[in-house]
Amino acid sequence: MKKVLKKNWDNMKEITCIYVIKDVIEGKYYVSSAINYIKRCGTHKNNLIKNKHHSIKLQNAWNKYGPESFIFEIIQTCEKTI
């Protein structure tokens, strides 16, 4: 029987980082930063699904190629400062 490792989502919510959303079809990307990576990615995805993303170029590519053509990746984690 294969052991399934559970991710600790509580810790994941606290990741402060620089991240990229890659369009694997065109090779283009959107780079930004977030204090709460999981929440920010959720906001991006919800806005893209609703066709209301602030980046017109990203929205147009999402509409043309679909969500399966995009990868969300962390480039660099950072320390959260106030």
Q: Would you say residue 60 has pLDDT above 80?
A: yes
More reliable by pLDDT, 38 or 5: 38
Q: Would you say residue 9 has pLDDT above 70?
A: no
Q: Would you say residue 5 has pLDDT above 60?
A: no
Read off the pLDDT band of 13 (50, 70, 90): low
From edge to edge, which strands make up the β-sheet containing 28-34? 28-34, 16-23, 70-78
Structure-token match 């990576």, residue found: 37
Tell me the CATH architecture of domain 14-78: 3-Layer(aba) Sandwich (3.40)
Q: Where are the domains of the chain?
A: 14-78
Rounded percentage of the chain residues whose pLDDT exceeds 70 = 83
User: What are the structure tokens assigned to 26, written together?
Assistant: 């065109």
